[in-house]
A and B are shown apart, each in its own frame.
Chain A
Amino acid sequence: MENQTKQAVPVLEIRNVSKDFSGIYALKNIDLQIFPGEVTAIIGENGAGKSTLMKIVSGVYTEYDGDVFLNGEKVNYKNPKEASEQGVIIIHQELNLVPYLNITENLFLGNELINSFGLLDTPKMHKKAKELLGRLHLDINPNTPLNQLRVGQQQLVEIAKALMLESKVLIMDEPTSAISDHEVELLFQIISDLKAKGVAIVYISHKLNELFEIADRFTVLRDGEKIGSGMMEGATHQQLIQMMVGRSLTDSFRKADNIRPKEILRVENLCFRNPENTNDFLVKDVSFSLQQGEVLGICGLMGAGRTEVLEAIFGLYPTYISGKIFIEGVEKQIRSVTDAIDAGIGLVPEDRKLQGLILNMDVTRNTSLASLEKISKFNFINKKKEEEISLNFIQKLNTQVKSPKMEVHKLSGGNQQKVVIAKWLATHPKILLLDEPTRGIDIGAKTEIYKLINELAEQGMGIIVVSSELPEILAVSDSILVMSESKQTAKMTRAEATEELIMKAALCKKEY
């Protein structure tokens, strides 16, 4: 509050901060000033480095280059607790609450009030919790267990928890990603109150409309670098979008359009109900057609339903899926992964470590995992053949390994991804689904994967690429499908597509 008097003095200052994850830069020489009583928006595409930066500021990441100053003093927090004690508080995108405890218990977790007998002072905590919820205009009994709340409500509880602490800098990482319009308004009211009290707020969001409503300043990040900053007043949508995406892509990997002989996959009215709430759709009425040799790019923001489209086609969660899938003109019931593999579909999943690889197995065994049937007789694996196939893919995909017997957790991200792709190529698929194929891998490997996608398409495979990175979509796709909030909002050919057009369709239904 004392900061209010010293108007133009930043409460938090970041100078020349860089951070790399095993050689890959997530942030490069970032400077940023956060002023009290103002909302500073951090804008950027997925993977631009927004969350990384905030994790540094709030003490989650303790090792980085550069300096962070709080009220003019250099700080280097050892952990988030130390940061929050000094008034730098982060509200994470993912919820950090205990589902089986009630709201009060969650709010006071770690800071429980105690009465004179040394026991929990439940009435007092209950009263305080109620007050706090009142401030948030949340009309819920504080005794409600957290898992009975909607996600939006849970997020507000998370915000309430942050409000209990005296904060100088409050960082909100996509606070509106899961809450309803009504709750957004409540949140904005609270933000105004906090501003009036002199709290500095850092607000991370994709939703430009929101930012124009509440932010005072903005900083745009792209690929870990600061692209621009300024006052929100006077800035336009167009400018911000351009700053977010404005890479000029020098290399285009797309082949010249060749004749498309044959439809290989058609999806009609694909729907995917939310397993946690069957009134809600993760994917709603998505229809498209994929030709032999075509690369279809699906883009949209995180949570728009891109991954779910692939999962639906691949036969995961069959009970929640409806719609028709035709492979080469024949309708197929794909009720399991085995069905999908038999139909000639392969899926390179979003998270290669969690979903793609058996990390403590070697390259060869990972490569053969989905196609063991092809190389075994009477259940006995033909190991010679297995090694041949693995070696063949190592050469073909230029996978950097010391030996095929190397365990895959020792490989770099790009090489790991190549192993996952090899696993699916070994099944001889007609259709390959790639979910974020280049996430977290270096530029060299990225280029190789783009080339590979191109080659596979030329050989007649139908390919769907889901990506958060627009330049990637533009580089590899023949046609592009844009999703927003579970629905498809635009379909265009590569020739028609521009980053601005895609971003507009992805950003919101309101704008479209």
Chain B
Amino acid sequence: MDTLNLKHKLVKFQSIIALLIMCIALSFLSDRFLTADNSWNVMRQISVNMIISVGMTLVILTGGIDLSVGSILALAGAVTAVMLKFGGEFIDWNLYVGFTLLGALVGGTLVGAFLGWFNGLTITRFKVPPFVATLAMLTIARGLTMLLTGGFPITGFSGQMAFIGIGWFLGIPMPVWISAIVVLAAVVMTNKTRLGRHIYAIGGNETAAELSGLKIKKIKMIVYSIAGACAAIGGIIVTSRLDSAQPNAGMGFELDSIAAVVIGGTSLSGGKGTIMGTVQGALIIGILNNGLVLLNVSPFWQQVIKGLVILLAVVIEKFNSKEK
């Protein structure tokens, strides 16, 4: 009984244990790793993936997937940038609308939420498999970003805008604050609310959920909208940090976020997983990235190693769930 309990605990905290081992190893291997500078730097880098991964976790919990987050991130960033810098100019009506910073931030986030909602629409109403629907959105949103920016970065915003990406508040970088708030909201949502419970139920057994009167379509639309909004928030942070909306921002981010979710122990078939697991997954990926850079590992090898870590995480997970 005791050994079983111990084993159970080991399984439960496997990600944290992996994280600790990694941190300890890195602090021995590199004297720069444990410095305050580097630590905050890592945290700031991780925060964008963390936010996207929260949305991704919800989607994957319903049994879906969202490949479009990287593109939505870019488009939302670009929209925010355009709103801030140029405002809305309607030549036909001889009208110019300027936006405050808050207006632009809300606008950018809404664009992301809308694209996510559109994903949800095609998936639920037109029965397009999530993989295909969001793959299409990946291309569509990227194309729209190119159209909006003309293929060139949009640069030069106010200092206030830059504060979001590089500012500090109470000794902690702003992006870390934002990701913490998003994570906290998602933890509460998944654990305490009906919506959260419904998300797990749909992923666990959609038929049973439907027969219990759950509104599957509505819930899925909400979840994809949240994923879009999360990607948009990530886009705003990236744009702010670089003081520039890059048309090719966020390329491949969907893979990092799926990796974080999977490493965090969420099942790709849905119904099983936690936000805190994803947080650990995102930390593992982020710290691994940082460590490999600090150790001067070639970028090519970095990719190989990252892939192997993802495989390892899933194999361990499978192995554990079989034991039970």
Contact = CB atoms under 8 A, between A and B. Distances in A.
Interface stretch (A45-53, A67-75, A127-135, A352-360): A352-360
A380 B195 CA distance: 9
Given A337-B212, A370-B212, A380 B193 contact: yes
A195 B172 CA distance: 85
Contacts, number: 70
A241 interface: no
Interface in B180-239: 192-195, 197-198, 200-201, 204-205, 207-215
Contacts of B208: 349, 354-358, 369
Contacts of B194: 372-373, 376, 379-381
A341 interface: yes
Interface of B: 192-195, 197-198, 200-201, 204-205, 207-215, 271-272
Interface residues of A, number: 28
Contact of A337 (B195, B200, B210, B271): B210
Contacts of A373: 194
Contacts of B271: 358, 360-361
| Residue from the set B213, B271, B272 with the largest chain A CB neighbour count within 10 Å | B213
| Residue from the set B197, B201, B205, B208 with the largest chain A CB neighbour count within 10 Å | B208
A314 B211 CA distance: 9
Contacts of B192: 380-381, 383
A365 interface: yes
A338 interface: yes
B213 A381 contact: no
Contact of A355 (B198, B207, B213): B207
Interface string A371-397: 011001001110100000000000000
B210 to A, nearest CB: 6
B272 A358 contact: no
Contacts of A357: 205, 208
B204 A337 contact: no
Interface in A324-357: 336-338, 340-341, 347, 349, 354-357
A372 B272 contact: no
A504 interface: no
Nearest to B201: A358
Contacts of A418: none
Nearest to A315: B213
Nearest to A352: B208
Nearest to A349: B211
A389 to B, nearest CB: 14
Contact of B197 (A349, A354, A359, A381): A381
B195 A360 contact: no
A379 B205 contact: no
B183 to A, nearest CB: 18
The 6 A-B pairs of least Cβ separation, nearest first, read A358-B204, A370-B212, A337-B213, A341-B213, A369-B212, A379-B193
B97 to A, nearest CB: 35
B41 to A, nearest CB: 37
Contacts of A423: 212
Nearest to B271: A360
A341 B195 CA distance: 18
Given A347-B211, A358-B200, A423-B212, A381 B193 contact: yes
